[in-house]
């Protein structure tokens, strides 16, 4: 607590906050000792109040920022990364969701110029620059941010895309891939069906087969019956 008290005393001495505001901060910290009187020239309180008002901060804002680990260096880091004029609440949200200057810059370099809300969503959905770049290299260069979120949520990653392409599905959209993954359509299932001669199945056909538990073994049995009898009745 002594460190926080010294910081508050220094803020009073510098004219950053008034003695009354310092008292509020000390009370919030549980320190009942009176705040020292300012040693600056007259009208320090007026300047401090004006300075806080101009910055859009209150004593309670300062307390919350401090409690959430938001300091001047973090605010400056975010400003330099392109997110200036963030409110106290926005700075706290950014800190709570591990959205820092490095993350913002890396996303910009990957071509993702996102708002703070979108950056927080990206963190929450494990979307980082590598994920976006890898999807682009997999043939999806123009995905919207919402599509990136959907791809991450449905586990459609570059490895899944590559496997599906190698198995023969080369013209699927991201929405198609999400549907395929949701219905457990994988490269093995696709190859099994094509090895049995079912090479012209559409995605809808594959989904219908999967939904009705029609697997390769069942198809093979039916093909054998057909070959023996010549026809299915």
pLDDT digits (tens, 9 = 90+) for 151-182: 999 999 999 999 999 988 888 999 999 999 99
For 188-212, what is the mean pLDDT?
92
- pLDDT recorded at residue 50: 43
The model's confidence at residue 63, banded by pLDDT at 50, 70 and 90, is confident
- Convert the pLDDT of each residue in 65-110 to its tens digit: 889 998 888 989 999 999 988 888 999 999 999 999 999 999 999 8
Q: Which residue has the tokens 């599509």?
A: 147
What pLDDT is attached to residue 228? 67
CB 185 within 8 A of CB 207: yes
pLDDT for 47 beyond 50 = no
pTM of the model: 0.67
Distance of alpha carbon 79 from alpha carbon 101, whole angstroms: 8
117 against 22, higher pLDDT? 117
Cα–Cα distance for residue pair 33/45, rounded to 1 Å: 20
Distances in Å between the Cα of 29 and the Cα atoms of 24, 39, 93, 137, 142 are 9, 23, 22, 52, 50
């Amino acid at each position: 607590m002594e460190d926080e008290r010294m910081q508050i005393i220094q803020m009073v001495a510098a004219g950053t906050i008034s003695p009354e505001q310092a008292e509020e901060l000390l009370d919030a910290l549980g320190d009942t000792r009176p705040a020292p009187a300012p040693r600056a020239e007259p009208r320090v309180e007026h300047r401090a109040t004006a300075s806080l008002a101009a910055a859009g901060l209150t004593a309670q804002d300062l307390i919350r920022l401090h409690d959430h680990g938001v300091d001047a260096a973090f605010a400056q880091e975010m400003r330099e990364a392109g997110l200036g004029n963030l409110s106290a609440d926005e700075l706290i949200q950014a800190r709570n969701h591990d959205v820092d200057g490095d993350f913002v810059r890396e996303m910009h370099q990957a071509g993702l110029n996102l708002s703070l809300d979108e950056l927080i969503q990206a963190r929450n959905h494990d979307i980082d620059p590598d994920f976006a770049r890898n999807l682009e290299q997999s043939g999806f260069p123009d995905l919207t941010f919402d599509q990136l979120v959907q791809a991450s949520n449905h586990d459609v990653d570059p490895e899944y895309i590559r496997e599906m392409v190698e198995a023969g599905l080369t013209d699927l959209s991201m929405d198609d891939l999400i549907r395929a993954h949701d219905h457990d359509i994988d490269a093995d299932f696709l190859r099994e069906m094509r090895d049995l001669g079912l090479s012209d199945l559409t995605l809808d056909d594959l989904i219908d087969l999967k939904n009705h538990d029609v697997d390769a073994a069942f198809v093979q049995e039916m093909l054998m019956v057909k070959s023996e009898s010549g026809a299915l009745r």
